[in-house]
Structure 1
Amino acid sequence: MSTPEQEITLLKGLAQNDRVAIETLYRENYNMVQAFILNNNGSVDDARDIFQETIMVLYEKANSNTFELNCKIKTYVYSVCRRLWLKKLQQLQRYSGQIDSIEEIVPVEEELEEHEKKNNDFILMDAAMSKIGEPCKSLLDAYYLQNKNMQAIAAEFGYTNSDNAKTQKYKCLMRLKKIFFAQYKNGQ
């Protein structure tokens, strides 16, 4: 977690085009922005564009004498990225809500905390997936990520029929849940 002094140093570094400050901002914030964009009808390219625009907004603010940051940089970046993305979706006619009233509906800090909790859960799930072993990892990947049907999975993994593949998928899923929740309870 950043202290207020570190955040002020980062903003000053950004204003002075300090490479270390800029790299730190990217490292600490890009994944959050990318996850938000991908979870809200966007692509990796959209995430890059929105993040660049967000950093430019932050850069301009850091260079102004009147800017005063009243929250963490991460919260500010998330708020700007969210506003820019919703504006872009509205322009593309993929979002019909009023952007001006968004902040009143869901405070950014609460949404950011929820996003960070989900992100931690994804990290735990990724760790559980790496521990589950083969063929379970590949089978669950084929079904949940590649959206393959049971007949295709049965053929690919050498099961006699789709029912056997379905049974194996269920066993793998139960094993994954056991590993995930063991990690979750231990807070690892």
Structure 2
Amino acid sequence: MKTVNGIARGDTAVLESLYHDYFPMVLNMILQNKGTEEEAKDVFQEAVIVLYDKIKQGDFELSSKLKTYIYSVCRRLWLKQLGNQERAFQDVSNYGEVIPVEDDLAKHREMELQLSLMEQALEKLGEPCRTIIHDFYIGNLSMQAICEKFGYTSADNAKNQKYKCLQRLKRLFFSTT
């Protein structure tokens, strides 16, 4: 993998790209979980160091997407940090378990598989259904806007078509799982 090789060489362009591509997701995760931007930077930096150390040891095998690996390491580090903060204020027995990174990776692999199957089902779906579903769920277009875009006589007709498209998508998705 190009990125892993670049990290092993200490290529600053690769490290900058890594920061640019993956830091926003880590920042979002930490901000949503009682953290600050500074804490997110620290956690991300620590995760990059963990990744670098693993690569340098020579036994690093990536069994998921790099994005999933980094997210999982950052999540584990953040949970550990939250746990340390909690322990400063509470009895240790009141704090829940920290999820091992392997469990987190397995959960993300399963999610990646499901998303891949959904992408395949969407590709099989065809037009105009694919665009209607994309416009409504991804583009956040209203049914009225979809009605106008596709020339339906009313928003109710567009809604009915979206429903039929979703039913077809469900059949395609569940036929592949």
Q: TM-score range by the shorter chain?
A: 0.5 to 0.7
Deviations 1:7-61 (A, max 9, x none): xxxx9x7896299xx9xxx8xxxx9x6896498378xxx9xx8877633343256
Deviations 1:82-114 (A, max 9, x none): 256x49xxxxxxxxx825379933222222111
Q: Which of 51, 73, 85 is matched with 1:80 structurally?
A: 73
Q: Quick one: which amino acid aligns to residue 163 of structure 2?
A: Y
Identity, % of aligned positions: 39
Cα 1:72–1:35 shift into 2, 3 Å: farther
Identify the residue that residue 121 of structure 1 maps to in structure 2: 114
The Cα of 1:80 is off from its aligned counterpart by 3.1
Counterpart check, 1:98 vs 2:82? yes
Identify the residue that residue 137 of structure 1 maps to in structure 2: 130
CA–CA distance in structure 1, aligned partners of residues 165 and 50 of structure 2? 46
Q: How many correspondences in the alignment? A: 144
| Structure 1: 5+ residue stretches without partners | 1-10, 88-96
Identify the residue that residue 91 of structure 2 maps to in structure 1: none
- Two-structure CA RMSD over aligned residues (Å): 4.3
Q: Quick one: which amino acid aligns to residue 170 of structure 1?
A: Y
The Cα of 1:161 is off from its aligned counterpart by 0.5
CA–CA distance in structure 1, aligned partners of residues 105 and 122 of structure 2? 25
The Cα of 1:74 is off from its aligned counterpart by 5.7
The Cα of 1:62 is off from its aligned counterpart by 6.0
